[in-house]
Structure 1
Amino acid sequence: MSAVPAQVPPAAAPAAQPVALPTQVADQLARIEDKASRIEDKYARSEALLARVEDRVEAAGARMNEAARQSDLAALRNEVRAIAERTRRLPGAGALIVTALVTAVLTVALTLVAQRLNLQGLIPLR
């Protein structure tokens, strides 16, 4: 008898079956995942730290601007105070009115005296 080999149907592509990894490789992958997790944690902490530093720098900049404005205001106050001290020493309106009245009265009195004493030459003619 002749043996006829039975036809074997073509095998379908094997489905993705979980492959058992050797324990040494599984341990190494677990260590890599742990390290990656720690690196992610460090990155998150660094990001948070940088955000806090950025906030502090912005706050310090705001304080510096405020201090600069305060020093400008202080300088302006000093200038206004110096001008006020100078103007306080000036004569007031009352003193100016009294001076004007005294000057007018003296001018009239001296003009009358010059006319009475016949000192017309002292008064210039126009």
Structure 2
Amino acid sequence: MPAVAPSAPAPAGSAVGDQLARIEDKTARIEDKYARSEQLLSRMEEKIEGATTRMNEVARQSDLAALRGEVRGINERVKRSPGTGALILTAIITSVLTVVLTVAVQRLNVDSLLPQRAAPAATQP
């Protein structure tokens, strides 16, 4: 079998060592950049979580303020509504007036002035 001759001469030992050292140096710089990027992302994540927590707290405070306003409004409406005494007095006056007017209608024979309703006609089978 014929021997295959290399097409390019092999680099010298020191040239290979230099190239390997440069590759290792570049790899170390890439790892440093990656580590710094991870740290930066971690800090950004912490800041975003802190901001989210603060925004949630502000939203809760806003909801509580709106709820307080609603409760205050309902309380004012309840205070303006008539009390038990006024309701009982109104019921008594209404019942007395109803009795008086019913008796007056019967005494004055007002129901005779109203038109009589026709009785329903009997159906034949």
Partner of 1:80: 74
Partner of 1:97: 91
Separation in 2, partners of 1:49, 1:59:
15
Q: TM-score, structure 1 length as denominator?
A: 0.53
Separation in 2, partners of 1:25, 1:39:
21
Higher relative contact order (CA 8 A, sep 6+): 1
Match of 1:51 among 45, 50, 69: 45
Give 1:83 shift: 0.7
Separation in 1, partners of 2:73, 2:82:
14
37-46 or 71-80, which moves further after superposition? 37-46
Determine which structure has more spread, i.e. the larger CA radius of gyration: 1
- Cα offsets for 1:49-94 (capped at 9, x unmatched): 1112122222222222222111111100000011111115585431
Show structure 2 runs of 5+ residues with no match. Answer: 102-125
Separation in 2, partners of 1:93, 1:24:
103
Q: Quick one: which amino acid aligns to residue 37 of structure 1?
A: E
Distance 1:14 1:24, change over 3 A: closer
Share of identical aligned residues, percent? 6
Q: Quick one: which amino acid aligns to residue 78 of structure 2?
A: A
Show structure 1 runs of 5+ residues with no match. Answer: 1-8, 108-126
